[in-house]
Every structure is written in structure tokens, then in C-alpha cells.
């Protein structure tokens, strides 16, 4: 059963990248996942629930990818924040299909206030203490950490967009410039 749900989510991501969120009809998603439409609706009763589950799956994967950067002694916190920012940008560039889905989702009517609040709470739960500690120890500017997290994650996401959308021979240069921009905007 879990494999079927994962196949449907993977098909949703792939199809959204190919034809867009609005064009990704449930029948097309079921076909791409090689499951019956009834099976899709058994797991995801409607398109809203399917898109929300896909978004949650991606964001859980993203958080899981980054969480390892935050289990270090306090004296290494500045270095770990910098590594985590780099890993975050690289995550979205490497997982460009996930990026395409999230980018379309957050700009659509499927992205509800409830999902936005859930995402904010998840980021706060996993990364809030880290940024509070980094701020207290003087590794980052003394911004309100909630404002910092929100702007930082949006900047990381848009930096990934710049890198994804550029020619291959300029990607590394743009990556370095985006990372330098992000870090210089938060370091004291």
C-alpha cells in the first residue's frame, strides 16, 4: 500500500513538472503511476488531498536532508549554519522536479493557509532553535528568528530557481554568488 502511494506521489511530481499543476488531472496521474483511478482515489480522495500529500512528502524529505547539519556542538554552529544553507540550495537544484512542484504549489489555490502554517511550524520546530542559538552566539545578525527563517528559506528557494534556470556553464558561478549573497545578508 505504501509503495502505491509513493508511486502516485512520484507520478504527481513528474507530471506536474511536465505539464503543470493545473494540467495534472487525476486520470493522467493515475495513468503515469500505472494504477487504476479508483486506487488513486482510495489513497487520495481528491486532487487537493493528493497535492497536499505530495507537498508534505517533499517538505519532509527536505527537512530530513537538512536535519543532520544541526546535530553538532554549539561552538561549531556558525560553520553548520553555513553548510546547511549550501546544502539547502543544492537540495533544490539537485531535486529540480521537487522544486518545480513546490514552486507551482505555493503559487496555486491548492496552497492553503493551513499548509502554509504547517510548513512554518515544521521549519520552526526543526530549525528555530538552531537559528536562535546562532543569533545568541553572534554567528548571524540579531534579526527576529521567525523573520529570518521565513526570508532565508524564500531566498534559498529563489536562489535555487536562478541556478536551475541558467545555462550549465554558469551554474557554479551563480551558485557561488547566491551563497555569498545569502551569507553576507545574515552574518554580523
pLDDT tens track for 2-41: 799 999 999 999 999 999 999 999 999 999 999 999 999 9
181 has pLDDT over 80: yes
Residues 24 and 12 sit within 8 Å (Cβ to Cβ):
yes
- The pTM of the full predicted model, rounded to 2 decimals, is 0.91
Domain with CATH 1.10.357 in the chain: 58-186
- C-alpha cell of 63? 527537512
Check the CA dihedral 173-174-177-180 and report its sign: negative
1-45 CATH: 1.10.10.60
Which segments of 74-180 are extended strands (E)? Answer: none
**pLDDT value of residue 70:** 66
- Chain-wide mean pLDDT for the chain? 92
- Cα angle 107, 109, 110 (rounded to 5 degrees) comes to 95
58-186 CATH: 1.10.357
pLDDT tens track for 137-157: 898 999 888 888 889 999 999
Amino acid at each position: 500500500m505504501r509503495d502505491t502511494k509513493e508511486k502516485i506521489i512520484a507520478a504527481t511530481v513528474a507530471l506536474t513538472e511536465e505539464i503543470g499543476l493545473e494540467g495534472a488531472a487525476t486520470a493522467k496521474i493515475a495513468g503515469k503511476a500505472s494504477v487504476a483511478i479508483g486506487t488513486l482515489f482510495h489513497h487520495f480522495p481528491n486532487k487537493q488531498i493528493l497535492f497536499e500529500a505530495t507537498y508534505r512528502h517533499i517538505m519532509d524529505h527536505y527537512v530530513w536532508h537538512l536535519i543532520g547539519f544541526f546535530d553538532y556542538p554549539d561552538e561549531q554552529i556558525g560553520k553548520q549554519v553555513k553548510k546547511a544553507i549550501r546544502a539547502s540550495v543544492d537540495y533544490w537544484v539537485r531535486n529540480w522536479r521537487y522544486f518545480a512542484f513546490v514552486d507551482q504549489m505555493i503559487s496555486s489555490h491548492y496552497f492553503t493557509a493551513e499548509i502554509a502554517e504547517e510548513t512554518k511550524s515544521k521549519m520552526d520546530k526543526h530549525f528555530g532553535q538552531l537559528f536562535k542559538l546562532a543569533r545568541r552566539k553572534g554567528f548571524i545578525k540579531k534579526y527576529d528568528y521567525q523573520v529570518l527563517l521565513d526570508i532565508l528559506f524564500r531566498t534559498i528557494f529563489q536562489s535555487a530557481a536562478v541556478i536551475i534556470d541558467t545555462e550549465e556553464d554558469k551554474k557554479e558561478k551563480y551558485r557561488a554568488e547566491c551563497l555569498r549573497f545569502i551569507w553576507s545578508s545574515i552574518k554580523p
